Amino acid sequence: MIRFENDYAEGAHSAILAKLAETNLEQTPGYGMDAHCDAARELIRRECGTPDADVHFLVGGTQANAVMLASLLRPHQGAVSPETGHIAVHETGAIEATGHKVLPLPSAADGKITASRVHALHRAHYADEAHEHMVQPGAVYISFPTECGTVYTKEELADLAATCRECGLPLVIDGARMGYGVAACGVTLRDVAACADMFSIGGTKVGALFGEAVVVTNETLRRDFRYGMKQRGGMLAKGRLLGIQFETLFTDGLYWEISRHAVTLAMRIRRAFEEKGVPLRYDSPTNQQFPILSGEALAKFRDRYAFSLWEQRDDGCAVARFCTSWATREEHVEALIRDIDRHCPRRRV
């Protein structure tokens, strides 16, 4: 069984394992107060062009989202999120468990929300006579790239950020797959840092064993962030493990190399589907591809590959999700491409 089912099926990039082994017997203070964490913080600040930003390290994405949002929302506020957002759908109500409603905003077919929709929601809230009886929008949450593999352009991000500032809504960006987003388009970490008030940079899906870096650019939101990390179980005793991993990822461009590897392979898969006329559910330039497969094709792929069933359709077709990652092997992609060629009779020319 070859696994394209997600981007966390393997352990870590070999450079990370090597560094963990090399530093294993170093004695360090706990909870992220060690020299490796400090070095990683500095590397990330530099990469983001934000010398004053606070950088924290957490273990997982659900945790990072909950800690970020709970740190800045007041009790009566909710987080505006694309209706397909991870916090809206796949975190077992982690945000609600901190007392806050997720305010779902209809997203376009590509899973993205627009500045104008955010603006309209903000206006509509205060225009409603009963607004004190409704959850107040308190922040905007998006993912980059989105759950659908799509990316915001630099202009879209800037527009969203401008609107958020105008409305007094901090912009929080979930970057669990940040590397694959940046590798896919012209947006850089500097662009993200310039737009977001707070964002994460995913390690788990981009070469690390685990770990998300959280960057707090907005000065007024920095205070006491570590208390919230501890309270919500996000402060790792051996914090150095996170520091060591991010230090490795952001040394000599390893994070970007890893990201490009996955995106390049994903594009080869995408082209293989396209060449056979297989429609794609989303126009994704990143490491996740969503072909719409016939029931027949699906069955054939299932024998050999693990992939996610994204959406079952009434006509028997289904949207499948194939992910590449830092760990995807070229020969596996080649095998898949051969099978695409074999199992997908050309449709719709």
Any contact of residue 125 with its own copies (CB under 8 A)? no
* Residue with the two structure tokens 């957002």: 85
R_g of the chain computed on alpha carbons: 21
Of the pair 26, 275, the CB lying nearest its own copies is at 26
Any contact of residue 99 with its own copies (CB under 8 A)? yes
Q: Which stretch binds its own copies (CB under 8 A): 37-45, 97-105, 108-116, 149-157?
A: 97-105
Q: Which stretch binds its own copies (CB under 8 A): 20-28, 140-148, 275-283, 334-342?
A: 20-28
Any contact of residue 215 with its own copies (CB under 8 A)? no
Q: How many CB atoms lie within 10 A of CB 230?
A: 11
Provide the minimum distance between the beta carbon of 276 and its own copies in the complex, in angstroms, as a whole number. Answer: 26
Q: Which stretch binds its own copies (CB under 8 A): 70-78, 259-267, 271-279, 291-299?
A: 70-78
Provide the minimum distance between the beta carbon of 28 and its own copies in the complex, in angstroms, as a whole number. Answer: 6
Any contact of residue 30 with its own copies (CB under 8 A)? yes
Q: Which one, of 265, 342, 269, 273, lies nearest residue 303 by Cα? A: 342
Residues 292-311 that bind its own copies (CB under 8 A): 306, 309
Contact with its own copies (CB under 8 A): which of 234, 243, 285, 291? 234
Structure tokens at 1: 């069984």
Contact with its own copies (CB under 8 A): which of 15, 39, 135, 280? 135
- Alpha-carbon distance 59 to 250, whole Å? 17
Any contact of residue 6 with its own copies (CB under 8 A)? yes
8 A C-beta contact, residue 95 and residue 102: yes
Structure tokens at 268: 């080869």
Residue 250 is classified by DSSP as T
Cα 110 from chain centroid? Answer: 15
Structure tokens at 252: 């000599």
